[in-house]
Amino acid sequence: MKIVTAAQMQALDRRAIVEGRIPGSLLMERAGEGVVTALEERFGPPRGKSIAILCGKGNNGGDGLVVARLLRRRGAKVRVLLLAPVSDLTRDAAAMHRRLVRASGKSSLAPFKSDDQARTVLASSDIVIDALLGTGLSSEVSGNYRAAIDLMNRSGRPIVAVDIPSGIHADSGALLGAAVRASLTVTFGLPKLGLYLGSGIDHAGEVRIADIGIPSSYTDALDSRAVLVTEDAVRQIFPSRRLSAHKGTFGHAGIIAGSVGKTGAAALAAQAALRIGAGLVTVATPSSVNDVLEAKLLEVMTLPLPETKARTLASSSFDRILPFIQAKTAVAIGPGLSTHPETVELVQSLMKHLDRPSVLDADALNALASRASLLTECKIPPVLTPHPGEMARLEVGATAQTVNADRLGTASRFARERGLFLVLKGARTVIARPDGLVAICPTGNPGMATAGTGDVLTGMVVGLLAQGVPTWEAACAATYVHGAAGDLAAQQLGETGMLARDVIAHIPYALKTISR
């Protein structure tokens, strides 16, 4: 699903109205219906609930007025606070105001007069709906609008944002002075970039997309270089599992990983590769830690290799690693390898021999920090899975802060310049491919900010590659399921105490949910 800027969405709306002859009031009506449907799915039937709706003067406020009318029809006790005089409402918003007054009288509407008045309305509400400011906002929020935002945030009530949380820039996710912190955001037509970037991530809460009837031919024609990874798309990616299948049907993943003190990274990647469906997995690791790794793994094979005195892979293991790679369907390199000089030399020397789908992560990326040009020697474009710090080490002059400040641009540029696939981990992971297209993953939660979850993702990507899934699809699907498994783990365990192994344990349940 394409992700759009505010200008692109406005152009789509105009085209639907002018060329498609869909009245703006009808689009507004459908938007309101989308909010009510999402609200019912999240919070249950509105009958008997007290719901406060704060409306601005623009079309966002008009959407809120539609929501007010529809909720009253469903038996909710609705109070609307208008942040602007009725005379200042846009044409469609004014029309929706008249329809609400005809349906329920003027008693349910009141102008925003003071903080005390708004505080009283909010305190008596079960749910608050933010329909103050839409996607056109570009300057800092001030005056009554800022006061209303602060009051909503302090109310302690769940907030449903209409299209985008008021105060968030629709394109960058930047905080424009103050912004609503929503529990649920219902966005219309197509998702907006700002919901998945910067402060937008923290303020949007759960994001749902409401279809307002814009013709698909219009959205198909839109030139967007960003897409959202969706459950429907991921469902189509997984290979079918025929009754006649055997373990060889689903490929053999090779993982070059581990060193003394870091066998856990290798074990997590291997287990994740199996959980995502790979038929066979073998880990190549330093000989002295091989027994430790075997004790951790029951279903995974291992290959002990020559090592350095520091118990990391030695450069002399090169001649044994080449046939190891050639015998595998796909390969992952990096988890727990260490940055020992010999091991770094080994990783660098392997790049021009990668003639099959591969994943480079962790210490493989650190080994390439000063030699990123070697990535172009890979015979098949690899998948890189850096966190922002590792990404910064790959880009000359970058820091983790500059990477996070422009996650989409960084990922797109690096993938295009190096001709590879990039999974830039973090809140709302970004996946980029060699033509510069980027995808944003909507799954995942802060409980996954713990040691080892990156190794799990590496294993999941190589596990899909081993099954013959094309590289772009494997990167997107693995990232989505990784986050979905983390979300299921968080629901069961809470975020604070989650471990990487909990994500692995929930991979089958995530797959089962997606395949329904």
Q: Assess whether pLDDT exceeds 80 at residue 516.
A: no
The Cα–Cα gap between 28 and 150 comes to: 26
Closest to 206 measured CA to CA, from 173, 184, 232, 234: 184
Q: Cβ distance 480 to 234 under 8 Å?
A: yes
Alpha-carbon Rg for the chain in angstroms: 26
Q: Within 10 Å of residue 44's Cβ, how many Cβ atoms?
A: 9
- Yes or no: is domain 6-224 CATH 3.40.50.150? no
Evaluated on CA atoms 95, 98, 100, 102, the torsion sign reads negative
pLDDT tens per residue, range 196-235: 999 999 999 999 999 999 999 999 999 899 999 999 999 9
Say yes or no: do domains 6-224 and 248-514 share a fold: no
Q: What is the pLDDT of residues 253-278, one digit of tens each?
A: 999 999 999 999 999 999 999 999 99
Q: Confidence band (pLDDT; 50, 70, 90) for 15?
A: very high
pLDDT of residue 26: 96
- The type of residue at 325 is I
Q: How far is CA 433 from CA 234, 250, 417, in A?
A: 17, 24, 10
Residue with tokens 């641009």: 409
Which residues touch 82 (CB under 8 Å, ≥6 apart)? 55, 61, 109, 110, 111, 112
As a whole-number percent, the residues of the chain with pLDDT over 70 amount to 100
SS3 readout for 139-197: CCCCHHHHHHHHHHHHCCCCEEEECCCCCECCCCCCECCCCCCCCEEEEECCCEHHHCC
Please report how many Cα atoms fall inside a 13 Å half-sphere around the Cα of residue 255, on the Cβ side.
40
Q: Edge-to-edge strands of the sheet including 77-82?
A: 109-111, 77-82, 50-55, 127-131, 159-162, 184-188, 206-210
Six-digit token pair at 72?
A: 């009253």
Reduced to 3 states (helix: H, G, I; strand: E, B; else coil), residue 359 is strand
pLDDT tier at 60, thresholds 50, 70, 90:
very high
DSSP strands (E only) in 200-357: 206-210, 226-228, 252-256, 280-286, 301-305, 330-333
Determine the Cα–Cα distance for residues 186 and 180; give it in Å rounded to an integer: 13
pLDDT at 107: 82
Residue 301's DSSP bridge partners are 282
Residues in the chain: 516
Give the containing element (helix H, strand E) for 110. Answer: strand 109-111
Both tokens assigned to 42: 């999240």
Q: CB under 8 Å to 286, separation ≥6 — which residues? A: 258, 259, 260, 304, 305, 306, 307, 308, 311, 312, 313, 314
**What pLDDT, on the 0 to 100 scale, is given for residue 84?**
93
Query: What number of CA atoms fall less than 13 Å from residue 407's CA on the CB side?
Result: 27
Instruction: Kindly state the average pLDDT of the residues 283-291.
Output: 97
How do the domains of the chain map onto residue ranges? 6-224, 248-514
Residue 186, pLDDT score: 98
Partnered with residue 431 across adjacent β-strands are 423, 439
Supply the mean pLDDT for the chain: 96
Alpha carbon of residue 36 to chain centroid: 24
The CATH class of 248-514 is alpha beta
pLDDT of residue 492: 96
User: ∠66-70-73 over CA atoms, to 5°?
Assistant: 145
DSSP element (H, E) containing 338: none
Q: Is the pLDDT of residue 43 over 80?
A: yes
Cα atoms in the 13 Å half-sphere on the side-chain side of 39: 30
Q: Which two tokens stand for residue 382?
A: 């690899």
Measured CA to CA in angstroms, residue 510 lies from 276, 466, 489 at distances of 10, 20, 10
User: What is the tens place of the pLDDT at every residue in 390-427?
Assistant: 999 998 889 999 999 999 999 999 999 999 999 999 99
pLDDT at 338: 96
pLDDT of 133 > 80? The answer is yes
Digit-coded pLDDT (tens) for 457-467 = 999 999 999 99
β-bridge partners, 228: 440
Strand 280-286 relative to strand 330-333: parallel, antiparallel, unpaired? unpaired
pLDDT confidence band for 105 (50 / 70 / 90)? confident
User: Residue 301: pLDDT above 90?
Assistant: yes
Predicted confidence at residue 259, as pLDDT, reads 97
In 344-435, beta strands by DSSP E: 358-360, 383-384, 421-424, 430-432
Determine the distance from the C-alpha atom of residue 46 to the mean position of all C-alpha atoms in its chain, rounded to a whole number: 30
pLDDT of residue 240: 87
User: What pLDDT digit, counting tens, does each position of 81-95 carry?
Assistant: 999 999 999 999 999
Q: Check pLDDT > 90 for residue 100.
A: yes
Reply yes or no on whether the pLDDT at 62 is more than 80.
yes
3-state secondary structure of 360: strand
Mean pLDDT (whole number) for 53-57: 97
Are 137 and 174 contacting, i.e. CB atoms less than 8 angstroms apart?
A: no
Of 21, 32, 45, 40, the C-alpha closest to 131 is: 32
pLDDT given for residue 3 in this prediction:
97
